[in-house]
């Protein structure tokens, strides 16, 4: 089975802190994604990566950055956390694209910024 793990299930941070969210997949997938999930808004794409050291902005990249130094690991960075970044963060890896794609999701990290 494909496994996508996220470093924390719950995280509490203070405004202005630098926050790292880690995601690791064990299936050698090239594509990885970071989403945030908010009630009534569904999943919104923050960033995605289609290969090591490659990244593309999604729909809501402001206030976030990412790092992909190794194929299996995709990190989301909140440079200076703000209260409006309180949310559930979901990481996914993907095999294939378009007609052949399937995304595999991690369990999520629920982040509270005080």
Partner 1 sequence: AQSVTQLGSHVSVSEGALVLLRCNYSSSVPPYLFWYVQYPNQGLQLLLKYTTGATLVKGINGFEAEFKKSETSFHLTKPSAHMSDAAEYFCAVSGLSGGSYIPTFGRGTSLIVHP
Q: How far is the CB of 16 from partner 1 (least distance, A)?
A: 29
Q: Return the closest-CA partner of residue 103 out of 113, 114, 95.
A: 95
Q: Would you say 25 and 39 are in contact if contact means Cβ atoms under 8 Å apart?
A: no
Window contacting partner 1 (CB under 8 A); options: 14-22, 38-46, 68-76, 78-86 = 38-46
The number of beta carbons lying within 10 Å of the beta carbon of residue 57 is 13
Q: How far is the CB of 30 from partner 1 (least distance, A)?
A: 10
Among 76, 92, 111, 113, binds partner 1 (CB under 8 A): 92
Residue with tokens 């990885």: 32
Stretch 46-85 residues interacting with partner 1 (CB under 8 A) = 48, 50, 56, 58
Compute the chain's Rg from CA coordinates: 13
- 9/14 with CB nearer partner 1: 9
Residue 8 to residue 22: CA distance in whole angstroms: 8
Contact positions vs partner 1 (CB under 8 A): 4, 31, 33, 35, 40-45, 48, 50, 56, 58, 90, 92, 97-103, 105-108
């Amino acid at each position: 089975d494909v496994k996508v793990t996220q470093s924390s299930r719950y995280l509490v941070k203070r405004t202005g802190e630098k926050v790292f969210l880690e995601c690791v997949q064990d299936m050698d997938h090239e594509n990885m994604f970071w989403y945030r999930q908010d009630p009534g808004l569904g999943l919104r794409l923050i960033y995605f990566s289609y290969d090591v050291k490659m990244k593309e902005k999604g729909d809501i990249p402001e206030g976030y950055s990412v790092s992909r130094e190794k194929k299996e690991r995709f990190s989301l960075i909140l440079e200076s956390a703000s209260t409006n970044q309180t949310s559930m963060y979901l990481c996914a890896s993907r095999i294939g694209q378009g007609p052949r794609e399937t995304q595999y999701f991690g369990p999520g990290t629920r982040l509270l910024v005080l």
